[in-house]
């Protein structure tokens, strides 16, 4: 293997840590590897030569993308030029299909093998993208067990590698909760748009819950890549609010009775940490209506999708309001046995995600592609 350059592309703050873990494993096996691409602070700390920063592309929804289109097109033009000049031995894509699909096509035209890690959720919406993946992507590393069968059914090389979140936990199996029954986690997401939409609603809901339960303390938990000052813009300073750094988020979530959470990675974190969560989400109405026409599943949060039923209440668009959030939270606060039942159901998710080392298995696949080269693209 003469070419030691890996292009790794992450556009979301939530995937930055997983990209950094993968880089660390690849470097452990071959210290001479060079990493170029797009990523966040964790990946840059691991030595990524960042052409662009992922936190500058933290977008959600169609209307938000439209306003940033000139910048996005500039990014893609620069990346295409660099990829042509540098010819990496492999392209590794994490999540963010709207951006990363364009890189997959560039790599295909340059005979660069492509691994997609944290695959786009085409089983949930926009199934037409399956044809794209089959043509332009060499392998998919699946992080959910049901994805492998879905992709293989379409003739795509896909393997369930496990979920990298399982590798990040360093918490006791039990204990810690009994003394912390008065804590509620608030998880407003990692994108600026979702934080500005949801955190004011979560904080007003917390105020009402505090009136009913004066002992409650609400922990507003910073997501990786989000500035604490930005969070404080949307949540007033009150004695029952505490702002928690991202480094302490897992311990804080685990020590919580329940959570209010934006739909996304944090709902899976809550489920693995066995914390009941009310899930809320708001998009612009154009984005919501466009998405609704393309969605093929009955739930938006991963715990509900994995178990095939609503474990976490989902409040979307106009239903994501203070009254509904408070009512949903009070079901658990007024009836602790109902919260206990949810925690019992959540144990099944941890078992389904398995104890595989996603990072090591994914690294195996990258080295395989780098050594073997392009197998099913243009010649």
Q: Which domains does the chain have, with CATH numbers?
A: 5-162+356-372 (3.40.50.2000), 178-353 (3.40.50.2000)
Residue 170: its pLDDT value, please?
67
Residue 377: its pLDDT value, please?
44
Residue 323: its pLDDT value, please?
98
Say if residue 177's pLDDT is above 80: no
The Cα–Cα gap between 76 and 82 comes to 10
| Span 277-318, pLDDT tens digits | 999 988 644 444 444 444 444 677 889 988 889 999 999 888
The Cα–Cα gap between 284 and 61 comes to 7
What order of strands is seen across the sheet that includes strand 158-160?
49-53, 34-39, 5-10, 90-94, 114-117, 139-142, 158-160
Block residue for tokens 């938000």 = 64
Angle between helices 129-136 and 97-109 (to 10 degrees): 40
Residue 379: its pLDDT value, please?
34
| Span 86-127, pLDDT tens digits | 999 999 999 888 899 999 999 999 999 999 999 887 765 557
Angle at CA of residue 59, ends 57 and 60, nearest 5°: 160
**Per 3-state DSSP, what percentage of the chain is helix, strand, and coil (rounded to 5)?**
50, 15, 30
Task: Among 6-10, 14-18, 88-92, 288-292, name the one with the lowest average pLDDT.
Answer: 288-292
Look at the pTM and tell me if it is higher than 0.75. Answer: yes
Angle between helices 358-372 and 13-29 (to 10 degrees): 60
| Span 319-372, pLDDT tens digits | 999 999 999 999 999 999 999 999 999 999 988 887 778 999 999 999 999 998
Residue with the larger pLDDT of the pair 203 and 191: 203
Q: What percent of the chain has pLDDT over 70?
A: 87
């Amino acid at each position: 293997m003469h070419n030691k350059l890996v292009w790794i592309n992450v556009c979301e703050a939530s995937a930055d840590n997983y990209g950094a873990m993968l880089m660390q494993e690849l470097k452990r096996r071959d210290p001479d590897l060079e990493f170029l691409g797009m990523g966040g602070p964790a990946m840059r700390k691991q030595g990524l030569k960042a052409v662009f920063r992922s936190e500058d592309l933290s977008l959600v929804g169609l209307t938000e993308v439209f306003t940033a289109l000139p910048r996005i097109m500039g990014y893609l033009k620069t990346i295409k030029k660099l990829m042509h000049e540098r010819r990496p031995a492999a392209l590794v894509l994490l999540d963010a299909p709207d951006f990363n699909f364009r890189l997959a096509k560039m790599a295909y035209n340059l005979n660069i093998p492509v691994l997609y890690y944290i695959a786009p959720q085409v089983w949930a919406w926009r199934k037409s993208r399956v044809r794209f993946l089959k043509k332009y992507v060499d392998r998919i590393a699946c992080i959910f067990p049901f994805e492998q069968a879905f992709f293989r059914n379409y003739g795509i090389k896909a393997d369930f590698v496990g979920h990298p979140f399982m590798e990040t936990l360093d918490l006791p199996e039990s204990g810690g909760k009994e003394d912390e029954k008065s804590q509620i986690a608030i998880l407003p997401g990692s994108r600026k748009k979702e934080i500005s939409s949801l955190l004011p609603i979560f904080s007003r809901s917390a105020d009402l819950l505090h009136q009913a339960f004066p002992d409650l303390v609400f922990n507003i938990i910073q997501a990786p890549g989000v500035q604490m000052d930005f969070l404080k813009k949307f949540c007033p300073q009150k004695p029952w609010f505490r702002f928690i750094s991202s480094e302490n988020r897992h311990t804080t979530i685990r020590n919580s009775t329940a959570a209010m959470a934006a739909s996304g990675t944090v709902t899976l974190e809550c489920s693995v940490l066995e914390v009941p969560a009310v899930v809320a989400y708001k998009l612009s109405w154009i984005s919501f209506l466009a998405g609704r026409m393309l969605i093929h599943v009955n739930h938006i949060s991963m715990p509900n999708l994995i178990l095939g039923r609503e474990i976490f209440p989902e409040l979307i668009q106009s239903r994501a309001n203070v009254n509904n959030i408070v009512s949903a939270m009070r079901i658990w606060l007024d009836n602790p046995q109902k919260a206990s039942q949810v925690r019992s159901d959540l144990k099944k998710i941890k078992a389904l995600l398995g104890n595989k080392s996603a990072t090591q298995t994914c690294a195996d696949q990258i080295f395989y592609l780098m050594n073997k080269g392009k197998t099913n693209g243009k010649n």
